[in-house]
Amino acid sequence: MIEGTICTPETVDKIGCYGNALVCVNQQGLIASVLFPNNSQYGEIKQTAISQGNYHQLAADEYLLPGYVDLHVHAPQWPQAGLALDLPLADWLDHYTFPLESKCSDLNYSKTIYDSLVKELLSQGTTTALMFGTIYNDSNIILAKACLEYGLRGFIGQVAMDNADQTPAYYRNQSAKDAIDATELFIKQLQKLSNDADRVVPVITPRFVPSCSDACLQGLGQLANKYNVPVQTHVSESSWEHGYVLDRFKATDTSVLDQFGLLTDRTILMHATHLTDDDMDLLAKREAALAHCPISNAYFGNGVMRVKEILAKQIKLGLGTDISGGYSSSIYHNIRQAVISSRMLEDGVDTTKQATTRGVANSRINIATAFYMATVGGAEALHLNTGRIKEGYKADFQVVKSHPSVITLSDEQMIERILYQTQQSDIKQVYIDGNLVYCKD
């Protein structure tokens, strides 16, 4: 049991803050109840928890928030976070990223970087992460084992990339069959690795359309239908990538993925800065989800995701760090950048144009919406009952210390400040399924 002030998303643009809450967790790692002092059983339940040694009271300057869901992490890219972000996407992949990922053929190297990454994500308040691995099956298993060892809930993809025109000879699947067989093997191995069905989950992962042959995409779509597991890939990510797909297929990424059976209600698509209106309608129809990676998009997206329009169409939408296209492993940093980018989209950036014509009207979001995407949005994308501090939800929490204030702030004002100012050092504890997986002190 945890007692203290809780802050939880209530709607897409409203955060609820409640003091003196008793958050009770059952043996299955679910929130059994959330009680307040006006409940007749509040005192009795509290005293029972104290006598059983199951009680933890937050300090006055600590707040209980849901754990974050990071919908886009390139696990093998962790060593280069914050490097070479001045390059165009294609150059960045060819000269930095593909060589780095190929190092994961060394399993000792893989263990070193994956242990570091998983512990880093937990220390940033992330409790669930959707991750790209590499083309190397054994390396991806090491990533899954790191998640199990340290407690992170991991959705992990065996990357498929067989198109010789767009991938280097030293780092690609040798054929479409090789990519498809490796993906299926990984699905079977991961499903046997843990008795907990959502602790480590295999994800079908065509790197993106340019990296894959038609036969590869077709085979992966058949696997998605056979196993009903999640699918992840980049979509309409940049001017180059978007244009490549249009030239090759005379259709957008979204339509191409749908053609190959890869657009399902368990599909999560990253970036999406160049979506068309028809793309959005198709995504809504298929009940697919999107991952907004605002920091990475600022470097490689050649545009700003139209978050307000996407949410208005009832498309599931979460946040991702996109390590290492994004320099930070913190969802907090991406919450802030999501708000910043939306304001730049609304206001426009070319001051040689009139203010009334240079932006996209009604585009800005508030910090509550970004918080919703970091919690509920990501959870819904992965079909998880987490992201809220509410009865029946998974007990995935972070305890965050607020910064001192020289003025009196309400709890609602304090959570706004927390979302804008929290750094890694302010995150005191992290719980997943009610188990303490990170403690700063």
Determine the pLDDT at residue 151.
Answer: 97
Residue 312 has pLDDT above 90, yes or no: yes
Q: What angle do helix axes 137-150 and 176-193 make, rounded to 10 degrees?
A: 20
Determine the pLDDT at residue 240.
Answer: 93
Tell me the C-alpha distance between 347 and 331, whole Å.
24
Determine the pLDDT at residue 306.
Answer: 97
For the chain, which residues make up each domain, given as ranges?
A: 2-66+389-439, 68-381
Considering the domain 2-66+389-439 in this protein, what is its CATH number?
2.30.40.10
Determine the pLDDT at residue 84.
Answer: 87
Tell me the C-alpha distance between 136 and 131, whole Å.
14
Percent of the chain whose pLDDT exceeds 90: 96
Give me the chain's average pLDDT, please.
96
Tell me the C-alpha distance between 122 and 194, whole Å.
20
For 257, residues 6+ apart whose C-beta sits below 8 A from its C-beta are 209, 217, 233, 235, 263, 267, 269
The one-letter code for the residue type at 221 is: G
Q: Decide: 378 and 370 in contact? Cβ < 8 Å.
A: no
Residue 66 has pLDDT above 80, yes or no: yes
**Class level of CATH domain 68-381:** alpha beta
Determine the pLDDT at residue 441.
Answer: 76
pLDDT bucket at 198, cuts 50 / 70 / 90: confident
pLDDT bucket at 88, cuts 50 / 70 / 90: confident
> What Rg do the C-alpha atoms of the chain give, in angstroms?
22
Determine the pLDDT at residue 43.
Answer: 95
Residue 90 has pLDDT above 90, yes or no: no
- Give the residue among 65, 8, 56 at the shortest CA–CA distance from 427: 65
Tens of pLDDT, residues 168-182: 999 999 999 999 999
Determine the pLDDT at residue 229.
Answer: 97
Residue 227 has pLDDT above 90, yes or no: yes
The one-letter code for the residue type at 349 is: V
pTM, 2 dp: 0.97
Tell me the C-alpha distance between 311 and 318, whole Å.
10
Residue 252 has pLDDT above 80, yes or no: yes
Tell me the C-alpha distance between 155 and 121, whole Å.
14
